[in-house]
């Protein structure tokens, strides 16, 4: 049996993309990289009462997908991330450190806060062609060859 590393999360962005220099940039080969954090709420029963539990996850989005989504990734915006877990390990001051983050294979904008505080939906889905995150692929709802970002976004 082969191993499986796949995660799907729906949550809200904790800050605007580009609000600091570490959240959006370009790596040495010119590829765009976006680092976002999402808050995922979960309700669970504690005795007779339901309580909210919030978990925060770091997500990395690569390539044209990161560039195309940059204007839309604002604090409070709800997104669906499909991807895989990645563990980074390093040593600092003689102590071994570790962090698990999510590398997005696809990102879908969902309803939620926007610049004018209106509810949105029916947003485009951005998905890289391959796992090397070299180029995005757009679903057929925009027609054409999928190489151009649509001028009229449906939200």
Task: Give 117's pLDDT tier (boundaries 50, 70, 90).
Answer: very low
pLDDT per position as a tens digit, 2-41 = 899 999 999 999 999 887 778 898 888 989 999 999 999 9
**Which segment, 75-89, 110-124, 140-154, is predicted with the most confidence on average?**
75-89
CB burial readout 85-121, b (16+ within 10 A) else e: eeeeeeeeeeeeeeeeebbbbbbbbeebbeeeeeebe
pTM for the whole thing? Answer: 0.67
């Amino acid at each position: 049996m082969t191993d499986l590393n796949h995660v799907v999360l729906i949550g809200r962005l904790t800050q605007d993309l580009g609000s600091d220099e570490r959240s959006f940039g370009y790596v040495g080969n010119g590829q765009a990289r976006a680092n976002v954090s999402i808050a995922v709420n979960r309700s669970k029963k504690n005795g007779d009462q339901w309580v909210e539990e919030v978990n925060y996850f770091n997500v990395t989005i690569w390539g044209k997908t990161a560039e195309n989504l940059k204007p839309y990734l604002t604090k409070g915006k709800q997104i669906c991330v499909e991807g895989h877990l990645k563990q980074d390990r390093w040593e600092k001051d003689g102590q071994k450190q570790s962090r698990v983050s999510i590398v997005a294979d696809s990102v879908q904008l969902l309803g939620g806060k926007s610049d004018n505080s209106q509810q949105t939906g029916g947003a485009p889905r951005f998905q890289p062609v391959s796992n090397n995150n070299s180029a995005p692929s757009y679903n057929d709802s925009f027609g054409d060859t999928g190489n151009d970002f649509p001028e009229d976004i449906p939200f």
